[in-house]
Structure 1
């Protein structure tokens, strides 16, 4: 844990997250866990025998964990007649479009030009109105905020919204049941909704380690600065892990419940994608591979006997992208 700082449970308690999980159960998938011999992935990496479990959140409805937060917003809040609006690098937009389609709610999604074409196509297929503009997530967010002011639509923030964090915390609920007593959970970080929810659920009962691309270190920058601050956004995983800064809510949780932050290079991320496919026939997008990249590169080295869970967060890429 970070220093002697007081634990912040005001954002979300484990009980809050559990109640939200029960509300979302009819709409989201309980994704499986794949337990592997670590040497299938890492060869001689590590300091001795340890255990590895992969949380296959890329099998979630809409192709990523984001659907949990999307449904939490639409079910715990009251969408107006103007519908909902979201800004997204891609995955959150697909998730909100899917949840809105399922619940019969109008949706408008703003994405930057760096979003993957497969994600944009999926948003359109789900019946949402897609607006493409600006180079980065921050540009899409500014446009979405303008639409909220103009239309009265309900903003579904990708990470800095309590309901979003509560929904993403369901990954922690399932992990605690599927991998009893994990020592460490490696979590990809962009805006922080996923790690905020998972860390708030475990609340110190497991070590939570943030993993980010070196070129998009939102949480790492905030930890160095002591507050959310602008970070670079230049990575192969930029369409999913490169908002301008970490969310305020996630940072509050991280100050109490995130033990460590590690960075991985783009080459390590791409290698992790290939190794996951070769060793386990697991096909994920770059953002989802950062936890395995940390293990392969030595950015995180498990201790002998350590039980490590890695969240594989999404796979919204077209078939054959690993060929």
Structure 2
């Protein structure tokens, strides 16, 4: 048996206020003739965080509209514009949630790889190392800050660039940056982490390495969402660590049914990742009975409304599109149901599942 030699983020800074060290941290990678490019969630435009970004020389901020999740076309356009204006850059720094993290990783890869980002959607297709790239999350749950994938929606599919060159070279974890996130958004993103844990810990790909990370992440999610009566600074810190450990768990195993099915929703309907996972997971009692029971309790406790009826009125063609996108996530289905997963989750059963949502 041949074991995979997965990369990890080589450098990470953790601490409340550590964002203030960004300039110092990236200085050793700075070439004065080549700018750093800061990809920042548009929600921070004209806000205090943007004013504190340590721009020098030719450095620029590109604000990312996260109304929609990253698309291959948008990544290619950013790469082409940067190449035309600067040629070579010192690095790419992503500041925001999972969508911005994924955009930063994708742009960093595409700066050193030719063609369209659609060519690299899949597993281990990237030929050349990415430029230096840094992740600074401002919301916790996706695990994008630590994962070896960046999820992109292309003209034909929603699929990540999964490669050894995808992980960040540096991550700055500052719990203070997550303060003030809108309640529903924070919950849906936190549940992304919770669902990561359930899918990893119950999957066929589970091993001792991923199990140790997944169990710790699950404990922290339960502490934040089940045991505690109100949110505080410790909750921000715990969820940031849960996100990190959850991302590590799936890096060495895989996610499962909720993610596979939600990709179809996202591709066709534009449903955001965290919301989509919750919509699907809410219907998966048959496959994850204990996890779904606890999930429903957390939803009720936090007074969250899961969107309903989003697939109502879709045509046969539209259902087929979602099914085909979902069916393309083979490793996810194998992790959840084993090698014979297509016999268990037939296209007819998957259609019926979508019809419930």
TM-score range normalised by the length of the shorter chain = 0.3 to 0.5
Q: Which has the higher helix share?
A: 2
Q: Based on CA coordinates, which of the two structures has the bigger radius of gyration? A: 2
